[in-house]
Amino acid sequence: MGGRRLRPRRAGRPGRQPAARGHVAPELSGDRAPGAVARRLFVIRSGGERTLRGLFDPWDPRAGETVEIPYYCYAIDHEAGWVLVDCGIHPALLEDPVARLGPQAAMSELVAAPGDDIASQLAGIGVRADQVVHVVLTHLHYDHCGGLCLLPAAEVHVQAVERAFAEAPPVYQAPAYQPDDWATVGRWREATGEVDLFGDGAVVAFPTPGHTPGHQSVHVRLAGGDVLVVGDAAYHPAKMRERRLPAYLWNPDAVVATWEALERRRDRSGATLLFSHYPAPDRLVLAPQAWHPPADTSGNEDEGEACGRPSCSPRSSRWRSSTSS
Ligand SMILES: [Zn+2]
C-alpha cells in the first residue's frame, strides 16, 4: 500500500481536522502520483422521477409529500479518456416505463424527455458515446445503468458482489434490477475493493455498501478540489448527517458504516459530496457547463429542502413538493 499523502488540500470547513502529513487511512490506499487530477467534471441529468419524500426518511413528518428528484450521472474528462459514473436511464423507458419496469413503475413516476439519454447528453458537451473508455457503476439499479446499451466501447466497472446480487436479487430489491440493462456489456471489470482507474489517483472507485451490498462511490480529484460521487450511498446530506435511514436499503448497519467512512474521507480531503438524487440547487451547475467544486465547502451538505423539520427551510423551487409547487 502506498504511503504517500495526496496533494495538499485547501482549507476545509471549520472544525475539520486537516490530515496529518504522512497519514494514510485505510480508505485511501493505493500508490498515487501527487498532483494528478482530472481535467473537468460534468453533472448530467438523465431523467428523474416523482416519488414520496419518505424515500429519504420514512419517519419524516412530510413523508407523504411528493417530490421530484433527478437521476444524475457524472462525466469526467481525464487526459487518458472519458469516464462516466453511472449512465442514466434506458432509452426504452421513454417509450413505456410500465412495460419495462413492471412493479417498480408503480413506486414512482418517471420524469424524462427525449434527449435525456446519456448519448444525447454527452453530445451536448461535444463527446461521442464511443469516446467513453470507462463506466463506473455505483450499482446496477435501473436508474444508474440503463444507458449501458449506448456505450459499446466502455469497460464497465462494478464491484463483483454487486453483479452477483443483481443477477439474483432478493424480493425487496428485485424490481430495481433490470437484467436487460446490462445485457449488452462485453467488457466487465469486476472488482473487490478499491480501483484506481488510471493509476494516478485522479479517479478512484471504492466500496460503499449499504444501499446495495456492492455499491461503490468514486473519489475524483480536480484542480479546484476533491469530489466524492456517492451515488445512492446517501440520498440526502441532512439525512446522512442526522443518521436518519432511508426507506430503501439493503443493510442499515452497512449504510451507517459507509456514512462514517465517507465522512472520514471527506474530512481528510476537503471533498464535496455529490449525490445521485439530491439536486443541491445552490451548488450544482448542470452540463453542458462544467462543474467546479465550490471554494467554500461549509454549506456542502446543509441543504434542507427535504429535511421535513421546522428548522429546515426550503431554499429552492427546484426541490419541488406537492404542497409548494
Ligand atoms: Zn438511484
The half-sphere exposure of 268 on its side-chain side, counting CA atoms within 13 A, is 21
The whole-angstrom separation of Cα 110 and Cα 50 is 6
Among the residue ranges 82-96, 141-155, 311-325, the one predicted with the least confidence is 311-325
Which of 113, 90, 93, 111 has the alpha carbon at shortest distance from 48?
Answer: 111
The whole-angstrom separation of Cα 248 and Cα 231 is 14
* CB-based contact 178:101 (threshold 8 Å): yes
pTM for the whole thing? 0.83
Please give the distance, rounded to the nearest whole angstrom, from the Cα atom of residue 9 to the centre of ligand 1.
Answer: 30
Please give the distance, rounded to the nearest whole angstrom, from the Cα atom of residue 317 to the centre of ligand 1.
Answer: 22
Question: Which domains are present in the chain?
Answer: 36-275 (3.60.15.10)
The whole-angstrom separation of Cα 280 and Cα 304 is 10
Where residue 98 falls among pLDDT bands split at 50, 70, 90? confident
Where residue 284 falls among pLDDT bands split at 50, 70, 90? confident
Neighbours of ion ligand 1 (CB under 5 A): 143, 232, 276
Please give the distance, rounded to the nearest whole angstrom, from the Cα atom of residue 71 to the centre of ligand 1.
Answer: 7
Please give the distance, rounded to the nearest whole angstrom, from the Cα atom of residue 211 to the centre of ligand 1.
Answer: 9
User: Does pLDDT of 6 surpass 80?
Assistant: no
The whole-angstrom separation of Cα 98 and Cα 188 is 28
SS3 readout for the chain: CCCCCCCCCCCCCCCCCCCCCCCCCHHHCCCCCCCCCECEEEEEEEEEEEEEHHHCCCCCCCCCCEEEEEEEEEEEEECCEEEEECCCCCCHHHHCHHHHHHHHHHHCEEECCCCCCHHHHHHCCCCCHHHEEEEECCCCEHHHHHHHHHCCCCEEEEEHHHHHHHHCCCCCCHHHECHHHHCCCCCEEEECCCEECCCCCCEEEEECCCCCCCCEEEEEEECCEEEEEEECCCCCHHHHHCCCCCCCCCCHHHHHHHHHHHHHHHHHHCCEEEECCCCCCCCCCECCCCECCCCCCCCCCCCCCCCCCCCCCCCCCCCCECCCC
Kindly state the cell numbers that stand for 256: 451507517
Please give the distance, rounded to the nearest whole angstrom, from the Cα atom of residue 93 to the centre of ligand 1.
Answer: 15
C-alpha distances in angstroms, 227 versus 112, 169, 251, 264, 269? 27, 30, 25, 13, 9
Question: pLDDT digits over 216-268, tens only?
Answer: 999 999 999 999 999 999 999 999 999 999 999 999 999 999 999 999 999 99
C-alpha distances in angstroms, 77 versus 189, 198, 314? 20, 12, 33
pLDDT reported for residue 27: 47
Longest dimension (CA), the chain: 55
Please give the distance, rounded to the nearest whole angstrom, from the Cα atom of residue 164 to the centre of ligand 1.
Answer: 18
Please give the distance, rounded to the nearest whole angstrom, from the Cα atom of residue 19 to the centre of ligand 1.
Answer: 31
pLDDT reported for residue 96: 84
Please give the distance, rounded to the nearest whole angstrom, from the Cα atom of residue 142 to the centre of ligand 1.
Answer: 8
* CB-based contact 216:197 (threshold 8 Å): no
Please give the distance, rounded to the nearest whole angstrom, from the Cα atom of residue 278 to the centre of ligand 1.
Answer: 10
User: Does pLDDT of 8 surpass 90?
Assistant: no
Please give the distance, rounded to the nearest whole angstrom, from the Cα atom of residue 104 to the centre of ligand 1.
Answer: 12
Residues in Cβ contact with 123 at an 8 Å cutoff, skipping those fewer than 6 apart: none
Residue with cell 461521442: 128
